[in-house]
Amino acid sequence: MKKWLVLSGIVVVIASFTTVTNDYGHNDPEAIKKAINKSLPLLQTTSHAFLENAGGCQSCHHQDLTAVSLSLAKEKDFPVNDTSLNEIFDSIMHVVKAWKPALVQNDDPVAIVMSSGYQLWALWANDYKSNKLIEMLVKNLMQRQTNEGSWVSPNPRPPLEYYAFSATALMMSAIQYYSPLSLKPEAAQRIERARAWMLHTVPETNEEKVFQLLGLKWINSDKDFIQQQAKKLLATQRQDGGWSQLATLESDSYATGQALYALFETGQLKADDPAFQKGVSFLLKTQYEDGSWKVTSRSIPFVSFIENGFPHERDQFISAAGTNWATMALLLAVK
């Protein structure tokens, strides 16, 4: 009897070890590619549908983050519809052109900091050439910096458009890439003030930790500090392989995708590292058959809902953002 108990215990241990190895070892490269090939067409078709249904509105969740995903997909030789990408660029420039009268007067169009931050990330991620409108926009954005050195979001829409860390990181990169030659000295001073704010302000949520890392990486800040903060973010990975937006919430694709992206970009994790593969495993397990990932909205619904064919009904906007972050993380895992 004792022998059978011992044998049973050994079998259980081996089975447990095998499960962990299969789940968190090296994920099947074909499974990763299959997941990407399901999400990319969905992101592109619903981006087009959003623009058709939004009556001139252009979004960070359906257009700008999608443009960043598509730029990385092109680098990894995944099929990308250039018509979709160019449509996103055109939508961005259409919005900026509509803002021109306010920009000339140096007024502050509604939500300009966050929406423009994502728009300009979409452009520089795709090596989009600067022009007079972009330079005018950046000049306006530079004036929005606070006395403390940060930029703030005017919108109560967490996590995408809410945190000063996100706004400041996006502004630093925009100014670095697109400030006019005549304003380069001022741009350098503003970036330095923003850097100091980033270094001395403590991030609390996953979004804040991610954009602190990305912002400092984008301006080539202190590597030792970046690694110190990256280790803190890595330490918040959960047993299921994912990350959560808040400590009180479950792991989701939004928080997991952006954490993996930031840790990879800062050099804290390589795609082959066990922690990265563990995160990839979480994403593969939680993707829906239609190519999406569902993320539950936690923002105040003051923006009009726009049906665009993306799954998950009233959670479409944040789910599209989460699907983009998940796709970007999976693309980094492709060799």
Q: Is 231 a member of any domain?
A: yes
Confidence of residue 1 (pLDDT cuts 50, 70, 90): very low
**Is 128 a residue whose pLDDT tops 50?**
yes
Categorise residue 238: left if φ over 0, alpha if ψ from -120 to 50, beta otherwise.
Answer: beta
Which of these, 91, 89, 90, 108, lies nearest to 99 by C-alpha position?
Answer: 108
Q: Is 234 a member of any domain?
A: yes
Q: Which residue matches tokens 């972009």?
A: 134
Phi, psi (deg, nearest 5) at residue 201: -105, 135
pLDDT per position as a tens digit, 8-66 = 443 333 333 333 334 447 999 999 999 999 999 999 999 999 999 988 789 999 999 99
pTM for this entry: 0.92
Confidence of residue 275 (pLDDT cuts 50, 70, 90): very high
Q: Is 176 a member of any domain?
A: yes
Q: Is 50 a member of any domain?
A: yes
| 56 token code pair | 């001139």
pLDDT per position as a tens digit, 49-63 = 999 998 878 999 999
**Number of domains observed in the structure of the chain:** 1
pLDDT per position as a tens digit, 182-223 = 999 999 999 999 999 999 999 999 999 999 999 999 999 999
CB burial class (10 A; 0-12, 13-18, 19+) of residue 63?
buried
| 268 token code pair | 């804290």
Q: Is 8 a member of any domain?
A: no
Q: Is 30 a member of any domain?
A: no
Q: Is 317 a member of any domain?
A: yes
Label residues 89-109 b or e (16+ Cβ within 10 Å = b). Answer: bebbbebbeebeeebeeeebb
Residue 65: its pLDDT value, please? 98
pLDDT per position as a tens digit, 282-331 = 999 999 999 999 999 998 776 777 888 999 998 999 999 999 999 999 99
pLDDT per position as a tens digit, 89-113 = 999 999 999 999 988 887 777 678 9
Domain that holds residue 80: 37-332
Q: Is 2 a member of any domain?
A: no
Distance CA 215, CA 166 (A): 8
Query: Would you tell me how many other CB atoms lie within 10 Å of the CB of residue 55?
Result: 8
